[in-house]
Chains A and B, each alone.
Chain A
Amino acid sequence: MKFNNIKLYAYAVLVSVMTFNCSNDDDNNGGEPMDTDFSGTYAQQDQMGRPAVNTVFVSSGMKDAFNTTVPSQQSASFQSMFETNLTALSPAYANPGDTNALGLDAPTFTGLLATDVLTVSLDGTTTFFDGTNVLTGRTLADDVISVELLLIFGGEDGTENPGLSNDNVDANDKAFLTSFPYLASPW
C-alpha cells in the first residue's frame, strides 16, 4: 500500500516534470503552433482565380460543382458551358471568325476562362490589363469588370456595344495604401 503510494507519487512527479519540459519546448519554439490544434482534414468549399468567372459564366445549378473541381480539370468539364453562356450574352461570338480585342474567338476565350487561375508574372508589372500588359496579375486598382465587359461585348476593336462594354465605375470608393497591407481601412 505504502509502496504503491510512493510509486504513484513518483509517477506524478515524473508526469509534472515531463509536462514542464514540454511547455518549455513550446516556449522556445515561439510556442503557438504546438499549443493549438491544427489536426484533421479540410475539404474544399469555394475557390477563385480570376474575378467574376463563376458568377458570369457558370450556369446556376453548376456553381458549387465549379467551386469543387480542381483547375486542371475545369476546362474539360466546363469549357462548352462557358461558350454557350458567352454566346448567349454576346451573340456576335456565334459568327464564324468573330473575336474579341485580344484576338480570341469564343472557343479559345472560354478555354482560357474555364481554367480559373490567375497568371502572375514574377518579372515585372503585375496587372489584369493596363493598356500594355495583359493578365500578368491583379492589383487592387485594376478595373477588372470593365476589362471583362470589353472582352465580352466590345468586339474586335473594343467599339461594339459601347453601352455594355464599360460599367463606368472605374475606381474604388477609398484610396488604397502604397504599403502593406495595401487595402484601405474599413468603413
Chain B
Amino acid sequence: MKKTKILIATAILGIATFVAIAADHIDAPAVSGGTSDITDFYAFQGENTSNIAFVANVQGLLAPGATGSASFDENVMIEFNIDNTGDNVEDLVIQALARDGKMYVFGPTAPSQTGLNSTVATNAANQLVADITPYGQSAMVASSTGMMAFAGPRDDPFFMDFAQYSEIIGGNATSFNNPGSDTFAGSNVLSVVVEVPKSMIGGTGTINTWVESKRKQ
C-alpha cells in the first residue's frame, strides 16, 4: 500500500517534470499545451541566399495518431517581429492567421502599434494565402512577389535529451548519458514557415527577431 503510494507520487512527479519542457514547449502556465503555445522559433538564410526563412512551431508533442486532428486556432495570431534599428522594438511584423483551411500571411509591414496588442494588417502591401497542408499530404507552398509560405503539421525539428536534463535538475542524476536519447523523437508540431527577400526586412546588417502568439479578445 505504502509502496503503491510512493510509486504513484513518483509517477506524478515524473509527469510534472516532463511537462516543464524544452525549447519553449509548454514553457508557462497560461499557454501550457494550448493552441497558442509556441514550441520553437528559427530564422535562417534560405536556399535562395537572398532570402531569410522564419519558422514558428506551435502545439508541440503531437503523437502521429493525434496529428491529423490537430488544427491551427483561428483565434490565435502568430506574429514574427523584426527590429532592424537595434532597439528591440519591432519595426516590421509578419502576421499569420488561419481561416477555413487557409493560412493568411500579412507583411512584412510596419505594425499599426508595437507591443502586446495587435490588429491585423489587412492593408499590408505584402500578402500571401497558403492552403494549410493536411496531415499525410505533400507540402503545399504558396508563393508571390518573392515570398513563400507554408502551414501544416511537420516533424518537430527540436532535439534534446530533456528527460535526462530533468533528472539532473531534479537531483536524480549528475550527468548526461552518452549517447543521449532525443525526448522529441517521433513527435510532430504545427508549423508556419514564411520566407521573404532580405530586401523586405532591411537588406543588410543585423536584425533582432522574435515570435509571438496573440489571442483575439
- With A32-B102, A46-B27: A169-B180 Cβ-Cβ less than 8 Å: yes
- Cβ–Cβ contact B43 & A167, under 8 A: no
- Cβ–Cβ contact B46 & A138, under 8 A: no
- Cβ–Cβ contact A33 & B207, under 8 A: no
- Cβ–Cβ contact A137 & B43, under 8 A: yes
Residues of B close to A163: CB separation below 8 A: 174-176
- With A72-B89, A186-B154: A168-B178 Cβ-Cβ less than 8 Å: yes
B18 at the interface (CB under 8 A from A): no
B187 at the interface (CB under 8 A from A): yes
Q: How far is the CA of A144 from the CA of B159 in the complex (A)?
A: 9
Contact with A along B92-115 (1 / 0, CB 8 A): 000001011010100000000011
- With A32-B104, A42-B216, A173-B159: A47-B42 Cβ-Cβ less than 8 Å: no
- Cβ–Cβ contact A47 & B211, under 8 A: yes
Residues of A close to B77: CB separation below 8 A: 42
B180 to chain A, nearest CB (A): 4
Closest A-chain residue to B26, C-beta based?
Answer: A55
A176 to chain B, nearest CB (A): 7
Contact with A along B194-211 (1 / 0, CB 8 A): 010010011111111111
Partner of A122, one of B100, B158, B204, B212: B204
How many residues of chain B are within 8 Å of chain A by beta carbon?
Answer: 102
Partner of A55, one of B21, B118, B148: B21
Residues of B close to A139: CB separation below 8 A: 42, 44
Query: In the complex, which of the residues A30, A36, A115, A176 has the most CB atoms of chain B within 10 Å of its own CB atom?
Result: A36
Residues of B close to A52: CB separation below 8 A: 22-24
- Cβ–Cβ contact A122 & B205, under 8 A: yes
Closest A-chain residue to B186, C-beta based?
Answer: A187
- With A41-B117, A46-B31: A186-B215 Cβ-Cβ less than 8 Å: no
- Cβ–Cβ contact B27 & A43, under 8 A: no
- Cβ–Cβ contact A48 & B24, under 8 A: yes
Contact with A along B52-95 (1 / 0, CB 8 A): 11010000001010010000000011010001000111000000
- Cβ–Cβ contact B176 & A166, under 8 A: yes
Contact with B along A22-64 (1 / 0, CB 8 A): 0000000010110011111111111111011111000010011
Closest B-chain residue to A171, C-beta based?
Answer: B159
Residues of A close to B177: CB separation below 8 A: 168
Interface-facing stretch out of A8-16, A99-107, A177-185? A177-185
Binding site for A on B (CB under 8 A): 20-25, 27-31, 36-38, 40-47, 52-53, 55, 62, 64, 67, 76-77, 79, 83, 87-89, 97, 99-100, 102, 104, 114-120, 122, 127, 129, 135, 138-139, 141, 148, 150, 153-155, 157-161, 164-165, 168, 174-182, 184-188, 191, 193, 195, 198, 201-217
Binding site for B on A (CB under 8 A): 30, 32-33, 36-49, 51-55, 60, 63-64, 66-68, 70-72, 115-127, 136-140, 143-145, 163-164, 166-174, 176, 178-187
The 9 A-B residue pairs with the shortest CB-CB distance in the complex, in nearest-first order: A163-B175, A63-B28, A42-B214, A181-B150, A168-B180, A38-B120, A183-B154, A49-B210, A117-B208
